Amino acid sequence: MKPEELKAKREELREGIAEIILKSWGKSEKSIDTAYDITFYLHAQGVVIAVEGELPYDWYNDETDKLRIKQEFDKAGYKQTYPLKEE
C-alpha cells in the first residue's frame, strides 16, 4: 500500500469511529454498545490483530524446524494475524 493510500485509510477509519461515538451520545448503555459497534466496524473494514513472533499451530515438527520456519517468515516480513471478532 502506498503511503498516501495508507494515510487515506487511516483517516477513513478515524472518521468511521468518530461517527459511531457521536451516534452513541445520549444512549444509557453507550460504553459497551459503542465498544461493540467500533469492533464490528473495524472488523468490517478488514482490520486485524497482528501478532509478531508467532507461527500458526502445527506448522513445524520440532523446535529446530520451528526456528528455521520462523526465521524464513521474519525475513519475508510475515506477521500472524487474527480477526478482531469471532465469526
On the CB side of 68, CA atoms within 13 Å amount to: 7
Give the pLDDT of residue 56. 60
Q: Which stretches of the chain are DSSP H helices?
A: 3-24, 30-44, 63-76
In whole angstroms, what is the distance from residue 66 CA to residue 75 CA? 14
pTM: 0.62
What is the residue-averaged pLDDT of the chain? 79
pLDDT higher than 90, residue 57: no
Q: Is the pLDDT of residue 65 over 80?
A: no
Based on C-alpha coordinates, what's the Rg of the chain?
18
HEC states along 6-25?
HHHHHHHHHHHHHHHHHHHC
